Structure formats: structure tokens, C-alpha cells
Amino acid sequence: MNKQRVVFAASVVVLIGVFAIGARLFQQKKAEQLTFKAQQSFTTFVRPHSQVLGAEDAKVYLVEFTDPACETCAAFSPLVKKLMAAHPDRIKLVVRYAPFHHGSDGVVRLLHASTRQGKFWEALEVMYKSQPAWASHHQPQPELLWGFLAEAGLDIERLSKDLQSPELGKVVEQDLADARALGVDKTPGFFVNGKPLVQFGYTELEQLVQAEVAAAYPK
Amino acid sequence: MVTKPQPDASAPAGWSLLFACWLLAATATAGSLFFSSVMDLPPCVLCWYQRIALFPLVLILAVGLFPFDARVVRYALPLALAGWVVAGYHNLVYLGFIPERLQPCSQGVSCSERNLDLFGFVSIPLLSLAGFSALITLLVVLHRRSTP
């Protein structure tokens, strides 16, 4: 009887151990793959149409693939600002679109159309803030956004005219293609100077940013 | 001396069989969690139905081990059979014998989406079907042996 208990307990330990080791190995391999994919040219990370926030001469590029309808992206928005404030003039935030939610591409088109009025960051902010109202239950309804965008100071008439531009579709397609090339399959997807955030989390992002800032600005 | 069958007479052999069942269920559970939690392969609706049948088996079979109770087959076999039926259906969907529109996956992950193919033909639904089949076989053998 005692022997049976030992066999059982040993099996439990072995199973959990194999699981943990397997998980570790898999994540290491994934990190290698992501890093390999990220060895792409600079243009895959920053396209001419990409919106950039931060000092002109900042050496650290924080590239974020975001979906305005993604709750975690909205939750990360203040954290990213906090990160940038912690390293003033050293970080450039580049926003890329990854509209993975069904219906998000319409929202992204709306967001990018706001750049014509120079109100991209205002539009993004209000989209994140009012997200529960227009994207509840992961079902983005771009038509509910107009009121919020007007409140944020956008000229709605001009926005609806700009929205007709065929260029917007190309921008979305390009960003989605880059997301695929870089192995981004969830949002938000972060890259710091081309290095992917493998283990997702704010602390992990903070560490990655700190490491890259330290590398770019040696004391 | 007329005796009833000794409760412990067939215990060592029966215990090993039941332990094999438990090990199989536990390995399958760990594997399924590995696919979803580590490899980030989202389980489709049919996968979830199979998981509902599989996960409790780990606990039910373990309870039957200490102390050894062959009647655990009565509780475990219905779950294994239910899992086997769903796994069989899933394989038919996966292989295209049941048309896409008949499958109950209206949103989320498609049940016929190919996520993993070991050696070119071993898919996740096939692993599940093989697992449930082996489990049912072992449980039936255990049942035959423990009933005089």
C-alpha cells in the first residue's frame, strides 16, 4: 500500500516537472523565434504613416501594436505614458495598428483619418477612455464613436470626408502585414528597439525598456 | 472453507490497471493544458466538451486508487464514453466528413482549423480520440477482471 502511494506521488511530481520544463523550453524557443523575426529592417517597425510621440532625437523606439478595441491596450495606455515620463526625451512611442477584433479595422480607419486634423493622440486617448461604451463585449461599433470624437475636438464633417480616402485601407493592410511578419498575434504587442516583449506584463515591459535605455544611453 | 472473493486478492493487478488509467488521464490533461496555456492554442467548443469529460477523470480515478476501489469504473466509464463520442465527432469535423456549417462552432476558434500535426497526421483531435479509446479499453478490462 505504501509503495502504491509512493508511485502515485512520484508520478504527480514527474508530470508537473515535465510540464514546467516543457513550458520553459517552449518559451525559450518562442523567444528565439520572435527575436529572429524581429531582425528585420527598421521600416518594418516604423512606416512613414506611423504616428510617433516623443523627442525627435530619442534613441529608444517603443513600438506598440495596438487595437483601439482591446481592453488590455487601453489599460496599458497610462502605463506606457508613465514609462515615457520615467525616461524623458529618451523614448519614442510608435503606434502601429493591429485590429484583430472583428470590426476593429473600421475603428482604426477612423483613428488614422484623425491624423489629417493632427488630432491622432487625442482621438486614440478618447477611444481608449470611452472603450466600454463603443466596444462592449469585444464588439466594436465604430458608429458609436463619433460623439466621443466630437467631444475630443475633432471636426466631424471633415473626418467623414477624410474617411473616404483609399489610403486608409492601405495603411491598415500594411500594419497587419508587418504585425504578421513580426509574429504579433495578440495585442498589445511591444517591441523596444526591435526586441520583442516575450513574457507579457508591465514589469517585464519596464525591465525591457530600462535595459534598452541603459544600452542606448551609457552613463 | 467457502469464502467471498477476497477484496484484496485482485487488488495489485487491478490497482496497476487503474493507476495506468489515471496516468493516462493525467498526462492527457497536462498535454491539453500545455496546448492551451503554454502554446497559446485556443481550445474550440468541441475541445472544451472533451475537456469537460477528461479533467474530472484525473480526480475520480485518483480517488479510486486510495483505497483501491474497482467500482470507480462505474463513475469513470460514462465520462470516458462521453469524451470518446465528442472526440469521434470532432475528428469527423476535422477531417471534413461533417460539413463545416453543421459544426457547433459559431464564434471563436473553428473546430476544423489545423493547429498542430505531429508526423504529418497526428492532430490534437486524434490524440484525444486515441486517449479516450485507450482509457475505455483499460476501464473495461479492469471491470471484467474485478467482477467474478
Q: What is the DSSP string of A43-63?
A: HHH--TT-EEES-TT--EEEE
Q: What residue type is A54 in one-letter code?
A: G
Nearest to B39 among A11, A18, A26 (CB): A26
The complex scores an ipTM of 0.72
pLDDT in tens, A68-87: 988 899 999 999 999 999 99
How far is the alpha carbon of B142 from chain A, nearest alpha carbon, in Å?
Answer: 17
Nearest to B38 among A5, A11, A23 (CB): A23
Q: Which residue has the cell 508591465?
A: A202
From the list B144, B132, B114, B127, the residue with the least C-alpha distance to B77 is B132
Q: Is the pLDDT of residue B32 over 90?
A: yes
Q: How many CA atoms lie within 13 A of A127 on its CB side?
A: 28
pLDDT in tens, B84-123: 999 999 888 888 787 755 444 444 566 666 666 666 667 8
| B107: nearest CA partner in chain A | A102
Contact B23, A11 (CB under 8 A): yes
CB contact under 8 Å between A19 and B33, yes or no, is yes
Helix (H) or strand (E) holding A95: strand A91-97
pLDDT at residue B115, rounded to an integer = 66
What the block records as the C-alpha cell of B137 is 479499453
Pairing of strands A91-97, A195-196: unpaired
Question: Which residues of chain B does A1 touch, with a Cβ-Cβ cutoff of 8 Å?
Answer: 67
Q: What are phi and psi of A73, to 5 degrees?
A: -60, -40
> Residue B25: exposed, middle, or buried by beta-carbon count in 10 A (0-12, 13-18, 19+)?
buried
How far is the alpha carbon of A15 from chain B, nearest alpha carbon, in Å?
Answer: 7
How far is the alpha carbon of B68 from chain A, nearest alpha carbon, in Å?
Answer: 9
pLDDT at residue A174, rounded to an integer = 93
pTM assigned to the model? 0.62
pLDDT in tens, A125-139: 999 999 888 887 777
Nearest-5° angle of CA A188, CA A192, CA A193? Answer: 140
How far is the alpha carbon of A23 from chain B, nearest alpha carbon, in Å?
Answer: 6
Between A and B, how many CB-CB pairs are < 8 A?
Answer: 36
pLDDT at residue B107, rounded to an integer = 47
| Interface probe with B: pick from A1, A29, A187, most Cβ of B within 10 Å | A1
Compute the average pLDDT of residues B21-39.
92
Contacting B with CB below 8 Å, chain A residues are: 1, 4-5, 7-8, 11-12, 15-16, 18-19, 22-23, 26-27, 185-186
Q: What CA–CA distance (Å, rounded) separates B24 from B128?
A: 11
